[in-house]
Amino acid sequence: MGKHTRIQKPLARTLWEVRQLEQAARRYKVATQMGNQGHAEEGTRQIREWVEAGAIGTVHEIQLWTNRPIWPQAIERPLDEYYTPPWLDWDLWLGSAPARPYHPAYAPFKWRGWWDFGTGALGDIACHSMDASYWVLGLGYPGRIEPESTKLFSESAPACSRITYYFPAKGSRPEVKVVWRDGSLFPTRPKEVADPLAWPFDTSGQMWVGDAGKLVAGIYGEDPRLLDPARQAELTAHPPAQKYARTGGVYAEWIAACKGGPPAGSSFAEHAGPLTEMVLLGNLAVRTAQTLELNPQTGDIMNATIPEEYIKPQYRQGWSL
């Protein structure tokens, strides 16, 4: 319809749907933006400028963690019956998903943990917390994904998972390992933090590990700092030159793009779509409980057959794309 389009993260539930959005954005040449707001903020730009200035040396590892899920998951489909609230059009809420009776286990808010509606903790948060490393390091597709999780359920995401992505060397960048943790599973306390009770610094966050130091930040890239106080003081006193243009924030950036200005930083085809694809590949590893070997140029899975409905959903009658 030629309308500029903004969609919340992670754009869609499945790889196929995300790719349809990427292709449509190219075809219709409209302004697009995903709602991973940290990409437009100061912290993400600081991280890139600091890393490129060598503040922590060569980065070889990223550690990510979150307290999500903060909704019920790792459960079976409920069988008890409820009346549908009069203010809810349940058939419309279900959309293209398979039909089932209304239940408060799904709505409001609790849909995120169900594979028919959401993408678990990884899809909910990784488009925020993986964004800076994806952009700064040019990660692209991984070559390997190793999943670990608590007990799997057929229709809902596990209670806790650890997913390790391996990104092969690219250009002058060496291989990078990215470790995702959810369910309030936190990475090992770095030696720079003396007090065990001071780690982690927040319920969700990220840590960059380089051969000359470590950097931590919030899940949106906010408030970055080096763990070495002396090096942080030096960086504060003598910051590197600003190489990446600042924006007026995620909404100002979006409005400017709609009015014919520069594309939003997290536009579908150029950034948001490929980032989301990389994220959702992790869910395929978790759901099938196997290490995936991938072609890092195309994202194709080389060593396993994934159920088709995990990649391209079957829409119920009356819905199509």
Whether 33 maps to a domain, the answer reads: no
Whether 233 maps to a domain, the answer reads: yes
Whether 219 maps to a domain, the answer reads: yes
In tens, the pLDDT along 219-255 reads 999 999 999 999 999 999 999 999 999 999 999 999 9
Whether 261 maps to a domain, the answer reads: no
On whether the pTM is more than 0.85, the answer is: yes
Whether 23 maps to a domain, the answer reads: no
Domain of 300 in residue numbering reads as 38-75+109-248+276-311
Instruction: Check residue 63 and give left, alpha or beta (phi > 0: left; psi -120 to 50: alpha).
Output: beta
Report the amino acid identity of residue 165: Y
In tens, the pLDDT along 123-154 reads 999 999 999 999 999 999 999 999 999 999 99
Residue-level pLDDT, tens digit, the chain, 321 residues: 999 999 999 999 999 999 999 999 999 999 999 999 999 999 999 999 999 999 999 999 999 999 999 999 999 999 999 999 999 999 999 999 999 999 999 999 999 999 999 999 999 999 999 999 999 999 999 999 999 999 999 999 999 999 999 999 999 999 999 999 999 999 999 999 999 999 999 999 999 999 999 999 999 999 999 999 999 999 999 999 999 999 999 999 999 999 999 999 999 999 999 999 999 999 999 999 999 999 999 999 999 999 999 999 999 999 999
Whether 30 maps to a domain, the answer reads: no
Whether 157 maps to a domain, the answer reads: yes
Q: How far apart are CA 129 and CA 200, in angstroms?
A: 15
Residue 279, SS3 per DSSP: helix
- Report H helices in the chain: 15-28, 42-52, 90-94, 120-129, 131-137, 229-237, 250-258, 273-288, 308-311
Give the count of domains, the chain. 1
Whether 286 maps to a domain, the answer reads: yes
Q: What are the DSSP calls for 208-266, one per residue?
A: EEETTEEEEE-TTS-S-EESSHHHHHHHHHSPPP--S---S-HHHHHHHHHTTSSPPTT
* CATH code: domain of residue 170: 3.30.360.10
